Amino acid sequence: MARAAILGRLIPHRITWRVATVREVVAEGPRARTLVLDVPEWPGHRAGQHVDVRLTAEDGYQAQRSYSIASAPELDTLELTVELVDDGEVSPYFVQELRAGDQFEVRGPIGGHFSWAVSDGGPLVLVGGGSGLVPLMSMLRHRAARASDVAAHVLVSARSEEDALYRDELEGLEPRAGLSVAWTFTRTAPVGWSGYARRVDAAMLADVAPAPGDQPLIFVCGPTPFVEAVADLLVDGGYDPRAIHAERFGPTGG
């Protein structure tokens, strides 16, 4: 199976601030929105990469945040999914106020280490906590756009059904050869739920992931404590640490 030498590879590019115009704001449940953006001369991206965004208030105050790109590279728009963080400085604006026609600055794409393309091969293990699913969704959308049958084993941890992003779309993708998606709800499981309802643990990973001997490429994303707990479990479970790509969103997620 083809496996590109991703580690240590430099991808030269100049990233500069560009103006993004909101084409559409799509609700993803009560606490998240997907921002569909037009960015002139966008250079394209690899699934898993992110952008920095910059907001400038009328008094000149600026704030920057990073958001993972949700869309597949095959699209001609750029999509970011933003989850509301209570008392956050930026997310309330994006989730509750932003409208089509508004503009802000983006810079990217950023992050070659946490990225994947079909040509990198697999099998894939994708583990997302909350909004950590966003960059993994970019990978799955890219995989679908290429009609790839690289095996992908996905595990998503969400507090409740409200926080579970893209569920309908993932259920629509699942019948495609080689894709399996498991959900675990850590606070409130959906009514009638018979699946996992606890924090990710060794037993759950053993159920979901192929054996270490299959040498999967592993991507883990979400709040820092989640990512580090999962990465530790995977290393303890015998997976090669060098095959584990992690992206830590910090204490509040992304």
Binding site for another protein (CB under 8 A): 5-15, 50-52, 55, 57-59, 61-67, 82-83, 85, 87-91, 93, 97-99, 101-102, 107-108, 110-114, 131, 224, 245-254
What is the nearest approach in angstroms of another protein to the Cβ of residue 2? 13
* Backbone phi and psi for residue 244, each to the nearest 5 degrees, phi listed first: -100, 115
Q: Which is nearer to another protein, 172 or 225 (CB)?
A: 225
Q: Which is nearer to another protein, 138 or 179 (CB)?
A: 138
What is the nearest approach in angstroms of another protein to the Cβ of residue 6? 7
Nearest CA among 118, 111, 130 for reference residue 48: 111
Instruction: Give the integer Cα–Cα distance in Å for 123 and 83.
Output: 29
What is the nearest approach in angstroms of another protein to the Cβ of residue 215? 18
Q: Which is nearer to another protein, 107 or 176 (CB)?
A: 107
Residue 213 is classified by DSSP as: G
Instruction: Give the integer Cα–Cα distance in Å for 65 and 69.
Output: 13
Q: Which is nearer to another protein, 91 or 184 (CB)?
A: 91
What is the nearest approach in angstroms of another protein to the Cβ of residue 35? 12
Instruction: Give the integer Cα–Cα distance in Å for 146 and 140.
Output: 10
Nearest CA among 224, 159, 225, 154 for reference residue 186: 159
Q: Which is nearer to another protein, 85 or 155 (CB)?
A: 85
| Structure tokens given for 246 | 């992690």
What is the nearest approach in angstroms of another protein to the Cβ of residue 176? 28
Between CA 176 and CA 184, with CA 182 as vertex, the angle to 5 degrees is: 160
Three-state SS at 214: helix
